[in-house]
């Protein structure tokens, strides 16, 4: 038994028949071949699979593909704009906010959600917002700095515009 | 040698972009033509005899391609152990078979009983659930100290008392006992260095295929050392010729030791891929990772440190039971012995040391190297004991360390320091890092705040850890004499392209360490070329001649040194080419900043022109081969010995026992530094794993051998809001025996951090009058509260 879903992912419309039990993360990775979204656990704790569903950071390992029917989805592959890196992507490079890179897409998507709602977060705000994303490499120190860098960069851009 | 100033600079990482844009290429991202997927039937019991495994219903399930059980593999070898440790009486360690699938009895929860291969992962999982297993449950044992007692259940029927080995190192025990008897003060600790789960965020993943046309296998594996996997799998498990196997480790999402080892699934998938003639992929689920990825630590120890009346250490005596789990993982036997016992000198002049280790089988997940591997356990033991002794003798803990430090030596003008436990330290300035740490923390001020806090009914504590580690693993002849069944050199092939661009093929493997940047910095600096004219290639046995991989903080000191050897050969040949072009003698050519120059003249040609000439050899020395392409192997002369000082400041809530980490100061001396940004990042990550052990993490088995916290819901992983910003300091004492003077930075944070935290908490409790000797890690609120009220 398959169910038809229509989704917009990174600005592209897709229509597929999927098994009702197919996880959204498997749909993105195995059907759309968007492998930038990762699976690090089976309990929705690690956050490696974080994407944006209708603009909100969402762990897509515990969402079924059929639940995303009609939704607008952004993954890490859709975050940069015409080849120009998002300030968070730039910040993670500038501040060495990644090592193995596996948690990075989820970490950036969570931080992007934070900066949408809280453009000038404190260190404590950032640490609290990233609480649902595990990183085993960086010790979080440089991830916090990366998000601070991005917030500053976005503020400067706003002033220019 | 030439330099353009790239070494020592915080260059931004060149590998970042693919990870930041979602274009990393991890093993699970790879889907091959005609791909199949595997799921496993795993033991629910810690110890049970298999009475029957019925696959008949499962075989009829939709999409099933094949199912294999232990009886299909009785003629296939198990995965080997790479390090032989002998019993005190000279007997070889007990090394029972670790089968790819179990046929007789399961020995830990998660032991593999059957593999189910299907068209999709969902079909494989469904069918695996339909395999019926009949067990006869047996009594089990999970605690190493209990497992050696007579009458304990036997994990392997032919291993008496569950002892894989017993082992001793250092001065004769009689001499140590005598020194201990004469000591003015003896501090004693009986403690557990608890079991940890490595938890790389990328679960292990393998994809193996067989091509009948070429009779070649290809294994994609999330491994830290693809060549070692190929060697072990071909030569010891499957008996396949090595040249018929390609092993690729693409992007790997963290390892921390747990991806060094040759796991049963790698060999089994490879075996299956030929049987079914299609590629087979398996990616561990997190709940499987908890049960299968080799765990770390798990020591039960009693240790005594004796002091004279002036606070000088006169003796150290250590007895440890090391839990090895159900089978010997690849390097499990060397971790509690040669990576632990050999570090018992610490930074101190202790004249008499005896360390005695028993390696024990239990019905638990195998234990092997986890970030630090043996050295965190040794550091924990020494640094807890010296801080406890300071409290007991009422001597300041920093002062007690200063009284006992080995004096500074550079390994060039002064010789290396010969320890009582086999190793010879290369160079060190141990008092230097503690002095710097004391300045950074503003020690007098923190002690004043502590007194003020105590006056106001608050508990503030400060804890020290001054550590040393043995890295840059390792001189092949030395480790060979100690039982290692491999060489521990590294290879590097540097290929200068005709256009002067450079491809470097290294046997080191990057899974987060940033080799694509650091190694390129070294090469570009030494050749005087642009960083982006260098590419680092690693992780593919078909591209890279050979490699021992990345672990033990060895990549730069061993792998980087191999690269330097190849670069030296390139420059030497380049001088001959340049000399011919410039009509001079090769002896008169200097190489600097990318130019070959005739000494004392302005006659020169650039590196690019020499490269082109090597491949278009029209005007060329008669006796010289064309090309500019060299391979080298580097076998280090000694281990490297990074060291440092970590200081924690904590506050303990009197009502709840909750520990708050207020400050953490890390002063690390890792020798020369190529990229300070990357080195700091390595240390940050290590700190969180060390602090994680002290405050949050710990694998908990119940008496039935069930791992009760085998998920991220239950195992307390360190999170972003558990930490303050770290205060980082550094000191540089170059390594005297490798060309870059580097020592390695991958494990420093993990090795130093845990005892600093525990010492700080104990110090806080003493400041409130609770004279607690030890609290078992992790220091949960409950444990700290109990320690306070029980003291």
Q: Are residues A64 and A100 in the same domain?
A: no
Q: Which residues of chain B neighbour A34 with C-beta distances below 8 Å?
A: 22
Record the tokens describing residue B434, joined without a space. Answer: 């503690």
Quick one: pLDDT at residue A148? 98
Q: Are residues A66 and A33 in the same domain?
A: yes
Q: Does A110 touch chain B if contact means CB atoms closer than 8 Å?
A: no
Q: Are residues A125 and A58 in the same domain?
A: no
- What does pLDDT average to over chain B? 97
Q: What is the 3-state secondary structure (H, E, C) of B33-101?
A: CCCEEEEEEECCCCCEEEEEEECHHHHCCCCEEEEEEHHHHCCCCCCCCCECCECCCCCECCCCCCCCC
Q: For B671-692, what is the mean pLDDT?
A: 98
Quick one: pLDDT at residue B767? 96
Q: What angle do CA B754, B756, B757 make, to 5 degrees?
A: 70
Q: Are residues A71 and A131 in the same domain?
A: no
Q: Are residues A105 and A146 in the same domain?
A: yes
Spatial CA neighbour of B518 closest among B745, B250, B251, B343: B745
Strand (E) or helix (H) holding B110:
none
A:30-89 residues touching chain B, CB 8 A cutoff: 30, 34-43, 45-46, 48, 75-77, 79-80, 85, 89
Q: Give the Cα separation of A26 and A22 in Å (integer).
A: 7
CATH number at A149 reads 1.10.150.120
Quick one: pLDDT at residue A81? 85
Q: Are residues A51 and A117 in the same domain?
A: no
Quick one: pLDDT at residue A160? 67
Rounded to the nearest angstrom, the minimum Cα separation between B476 and chain A is 29
pLDDT digits (tens, 9 = 90+) for B429-488: 999 999 999 999 999 999 999 999 999 999 999 999 999 999 999 899 999 999 999 889
Spatial CA neighbour of B507 closest among B486, B527, B525: B486
Of A26, A55, A78, the domain-final residue? A78
* A125 within domain boundaries: yes
pLDDT digits (tens, 9 = 90+) for B361-410: 999 999 999 999 999 999 999 999 999 999 999 999 999 999 999 999 99
Q: Write the residue in B18, B20, B201 that is nearest to A48 by C-beta.
A: B201
User: How far is CA B461 from each of CA B287, B319, B394, rounded to the nearest angstrom?
Assistant: 37, 29, 15
What is the three-class DSSP state of B566? helix
Quick one: pLDDT at residue B780? 98
Spatial CA neighbour of A150 closest among A128, A118, A103, A124: A118
When pLDDT is cut at 50, 70 and 90, the band that residue A157 belongs to is: confident
Cross-chain Cβ contact B720/A104 below 8 Å: no
Whether the CB-CB separation of B420 and B345 falls below 8 Å is answered with yes
The pLDDT of residue B1 is above 60: no
pLDDT digits (tens, 9 = 90+) for B545-594: 999 999 999 999 999 999 999 999 999 999 999 999 999 999 999 999 99
The pLDDT of residue B13 is above 80: yes
Which residue of B lies nearest to A21 if distances are taken between CA atoms?
B122
The pLDDT of residue B2 is above 70: no
Of A78, A96, A114, the domain-final residue? A78
Q: For B41-45, what is the mean pLDDT?
A: 98
Q: Give the Cα separation of B701 and B683 in Å (integer).
A: 30
Q: Write the residue in B25, B31, B712 that is nearest to A46 by C-beta.
A: B712
Quick one: pLDDT at residue B497? 98
Cross-chain Cβ contact A36/B687 below 8 Å: no
Q: For B340, which DSSP code?
A: T
Of A23, A47, A78, the domain-final residue? A78
The pLDDT of residue A87 is above 90: yes
Give the count of Cβ contacts less than 8 A between chain A and B: 175
User: How far is CA B138 from each of CA A157, B99, B771, rounded to the nearest angstrom?
Assistant: 67, 19, 43
Q: Are residues A67 and A117 in the same domain?
A: no
Q: Give the Cα separation of B765 and B453 in Å (integer).
A: 12
* A57 within domain boundaries: yes
User: How many CA atoms lie less than 13 Å away from A117 in the CB half-sphere?
Assistant: 11
When pLDDT is cut at 50, 70 and 90, the band that residue A1 belongs to is: confident
* A33 within domain boundaries: yes
Q: Are residues A95 and A34 in the same domain?
A: no
Q: Does A137 touch chain B if contact means CB atoms closer than 8 Å?
A: yes
Spatial CA neighbour of B766 closest among B650, B645, B624: B650
* A136 within domain boundaries: yes
pLDDT digits (tens, 9 = 90+) for B614-637: 999 999 999 999 999 999 999 999
Rounded to the nearest angstrom, the minimum Cα separation between A89 and chain B is 6
Q: Which residues of chain A neighbour B685 with C-beta distances below 8 Å?
A: 99, 136-139
Q: Which residues of chain A neighbour B723 with C-beta distances below 8 Å?
A: 127, 139-141
Q: Are residues A98 and A148 in the same domain?
A: yes
Q: For B522-528, what is the mean pLDDT?
A: 97
Q: Which domains does chain B have, with CATH numbers?
A: 16-22+489-634 (3.30.365.10), 31-138+202-253+259-292 (3.90.1170.50), 372-377+386-471+639-790 (3.30.365.10)
Q: Are residues A104 and A134 in the same domain?
A: yes
Which residue of B lies nearest to A92 if distances are taken between CA atoms?
B20
Q: Are residues A8 and A42 in the same domain?
A: yes
CATH number at A12 reads 3.10.20.30
Quick one: pLDDT at residue B791? 79
pLDDT digits (tens, 9 = 90+) for B157-175: 999 999 999 999 999 999 9
Quick one: pLDDT at residue B3? 61
Quick one: pLDDT at residue A83? 85
* A161 within domain boundaries: no
pLDDT digits (tens, 9 = 90+) for A100-148: 999 999 999 999 999 999 999 999 999 999 999 999 999 999 999 999 9
* A160 within domain boundaries: no
User: How far is CA B734 from each of CA B76, B427, B476, B522, B673, rounded to the nearest angstrom?
Assistant: 48, 7, 22, 16, 9
Sheet order of strands, A50-53 included: A12-18, A3-9, A72-74, A50-53, A56-59
Quick one: pLDDT at residue A82? 85
Quote the number of domains for chain A.
Answer: 2
Q: Are residues A7 and A73 in the same domain?
A: yes
Q: For B212-236, what is the mean pLDDT?
A: 97
What is the three-class DSSP state of B196? strand
Task: Give the structural domain span for A126.
Answer: 87-154
Q: Which residues of chain A neighbour B687 with C-beta distances below 8 Å?
A: 139
Q: Which residues of chain A neighbour B28 with C-beta distances below 8 Å?
A: 35, 39
User: How far is CA B440 from each of CA B347, B576, B666, B729, rounded to the nearest angstrom?
Assistant: 21, 52, 9, 8
Q: Which residues of chain A neighbour B202 with C-beta distances below 8 Å?
A: 38, 40, 100, 102
Q: Give the Cα separation of B34 and B277 in Å (integer).
A: 9
Rounded to the nearest angstrom, the minimum Cα separation between A128 and chain B is 6
- Pairing between β-strand B296-307 and β-strand B313-325 as defined by DSSP bridges: antiparallel
pLDDT digits (tens, 9 = 90+) for B279-338: 999 999 999 999 999 999 999 999 999 999 999 999 999 999 999 999 999 999 999 999
When pLDDT is cut at 50, 70 and 90, the band that residue A159 belongs to is: confident
* A105 within domain boundaries: yes
Question: Which percentage of chain B shows pLDDT scores above 90?
Answer: 98
What is the three-class DSSP state of B453? helix
Cross-chain Cβ contact B711/A41 below 8 Å: yes
* A135 within domain boundaries: yes
Spatial CA neighbour of B322 closest among B305, B344, B306, B339: B339
Q: Which residues of chain A neighbour B251 with C-beta distances below 8 Å?
A: 100-101
Q: For B715-737, what is the mean pLDDT?
A: 98
Q: Write the residue in B12, B15, B685 that is nearest to A138 by C-beta.
A: B685
Q: What is the pTM of this model?
A: 0.97
């Amino acid at each position: 038994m398959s169910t038809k879903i229509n989704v917009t992912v990174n600005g592209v419309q897709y229509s597929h028949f999927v098994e009702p039990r197919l996880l959204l993360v498997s749909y993105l990775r195995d059907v759309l071949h968007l492998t930038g979204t990762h699976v690090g656990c089976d309990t929705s704790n690690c956050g490696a699979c974080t994407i944006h569903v209708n603009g909100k950071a969402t762990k897509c390992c515990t969402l079924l593909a059929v639940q995303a029917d009609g939704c607008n989805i952004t993954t890490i592959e859709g975050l940069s704009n015409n080849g120009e890196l998002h300030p968070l992507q730039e910040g993670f490079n500038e501040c060495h906010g990644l090592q193995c890179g596996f948690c990075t897409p989820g970490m950036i998507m969570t931080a992007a959600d934070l900066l949408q709602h809280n453009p000038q977060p404190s260190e404590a705000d950032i640490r609290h917002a990233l609480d649902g994303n595990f990183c085993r490499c960086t010790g979080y120190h440089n991830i916090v700095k990366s998000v601070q860098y991005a917030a500053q960069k976005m503020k400067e851009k706003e002033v220019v515009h | 040698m030439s330099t353009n100033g790239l070494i020592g600079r915080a260059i931004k990482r060149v590998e970042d972009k693919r990870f930041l844009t979602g274009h990393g290429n991890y093993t699970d991202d790879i889907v091959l033509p005609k791909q199949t997927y595997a799921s496993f039937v795993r033991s629910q019991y810690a110890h049970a005899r298999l009475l029957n495994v019925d696959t008949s219903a499962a075989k009829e399930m939709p999409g099933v391609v094949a199912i294999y059980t232990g009886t299909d593999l009785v003629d296939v070898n198990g995965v080997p152990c790479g390090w032989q440790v002998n019993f005190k009486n000279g007997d070889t360690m007990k090394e029972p078979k670790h089968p790819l699938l179990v046929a007789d009895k399961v020995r830990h929860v998660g032991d593999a009983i059957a593999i189910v291969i299907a068209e999709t992962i969902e079909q494989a999982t469904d069918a695996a659930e339909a395999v019926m297993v009949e067990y006869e449950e047996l009594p089990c044992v999970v605690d190493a100290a209990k497992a050696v007692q007579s009458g304990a259940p036997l994990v392997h029927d032919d291993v008496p008392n569950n002892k894989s080995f017993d082992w001793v190192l250092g001065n004769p025990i009689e001499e140590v006992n005598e020194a201990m008897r004469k000591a003015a003060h003896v501090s004693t600790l009986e403690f557990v260095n608890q079991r940890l789960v490595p938890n790389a965020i990328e679960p292990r993943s393998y994809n193996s295929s067989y091509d009948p046309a070429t009779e070649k296998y290809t294994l994609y594996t999330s491994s830290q050392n693809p060549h070692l996997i190929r060697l072990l799998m071909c030569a010891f498990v499957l008996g396949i010729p090595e040249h018929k196997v390609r092993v690729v480790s693409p992007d790997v999402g963290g390892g921390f030791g747990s991806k060094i080892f040759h796991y049963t699934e790698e060999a089994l998938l490879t075996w299956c891929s030929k049987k079914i003639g299609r590629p087979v992929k398996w990616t561990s689920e997190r709940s499987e990772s908890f049960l299968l990825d080799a765990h770390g630590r798990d020591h039960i120890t009693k240790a005594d440190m004796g002091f004279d009346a002036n606070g000088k250490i006169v003796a150290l005596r250590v007895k440890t039971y090391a839990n090895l789990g159900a089978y010997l993982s690849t390097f499990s036997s060397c971790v509690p012995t040669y990576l632990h016992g050999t570090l018992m000198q610490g930074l101190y002049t202790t004249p008499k040391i005896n360390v005695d280790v028993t390696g024990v089988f239990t019905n638990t997940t195998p234990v092997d190297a986890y970030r630090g591997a043996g050295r965190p356990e040794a550091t924990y033991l020494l640094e807890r004991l010296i801080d406890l002794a300071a409290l007991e003798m009422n001597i300041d803990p920093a002062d007690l360390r200063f009284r006992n430090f080995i004096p500074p030596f550079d390994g060039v003008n002064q010789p290396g320091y010969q320890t009582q436990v086999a190793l010879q330290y290369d160079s060190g300035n141990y008092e230097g890092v503690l002095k710097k740490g004391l300045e950074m923390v503003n020690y007098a001020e923190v002690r004043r705040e502590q007194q003020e806090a105590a006056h106001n009914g608050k508990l503030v504590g400060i804890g020290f850890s001054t550590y040393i580690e043995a890295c840059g693993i390792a001189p092949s002849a030395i480790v060979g004499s100690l039982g290692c069944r491999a060489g521990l050199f590294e290879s590097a092939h540097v290929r200068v392209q005709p256009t002067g661009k450079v491809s470097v093929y290294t046997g080191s493997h990057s899974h987060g360490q940033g080799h694509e940047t650091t190694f390129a910095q070294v090469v570009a600096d030494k050749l005087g070329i642009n960083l982006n004219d260098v590419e680092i290639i690693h992780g593919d046995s078909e591209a890279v001649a050979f490699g021992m991989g990345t672990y033990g903080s060895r990549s730069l000191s061993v792998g980087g040194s191999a690269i330097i050897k190849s670069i030296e050969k390139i420059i030497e040949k380049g001088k001959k080419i340049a000399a011919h072009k410039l009509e001079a003698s090769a002896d008169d050519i200097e190489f600097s900043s990318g130019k070959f120059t005739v000494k004392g003249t302005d006659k020169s040609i650039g590196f690019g022109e020499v490269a082109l000439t090597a491949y278009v050899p029209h005007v060329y020395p008669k006796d010289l081969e064309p090309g500019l392409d060299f391979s080298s192997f580097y076998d280090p002369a000694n281990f490297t010995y990074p060291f440092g000082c970590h200081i924690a400041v904590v506050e303990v809530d009197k009502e709840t026992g909750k520990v708050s980490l207020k400050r953490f100061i890390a002063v690390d001396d890792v020798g020369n530094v190529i990229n300070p940004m990357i080195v700091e990042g390595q240390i940050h990550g290590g700190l969180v794993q060390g602090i994680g052990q002290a405050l949050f993490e710990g694998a908990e088995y119940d008496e039935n051998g069930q791992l009760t916290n085998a998920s991220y819901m239950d195992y307390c992983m360190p999170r972003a809001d558990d930490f303050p910003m770290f205060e980082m300091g550094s000191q540089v004492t170059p390594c005297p025996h490798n060309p870059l003077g580097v020592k390695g930075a991958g494990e420093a944070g993990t090795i130093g951090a845990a005892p600093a935290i525990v010492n700080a908490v104990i110090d806080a409790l003493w400041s409130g009058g609770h004279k607690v000797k030890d609290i078992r890690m992790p220091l949960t609120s409950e444990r700290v509260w109990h320690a306070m009220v029980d003291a």
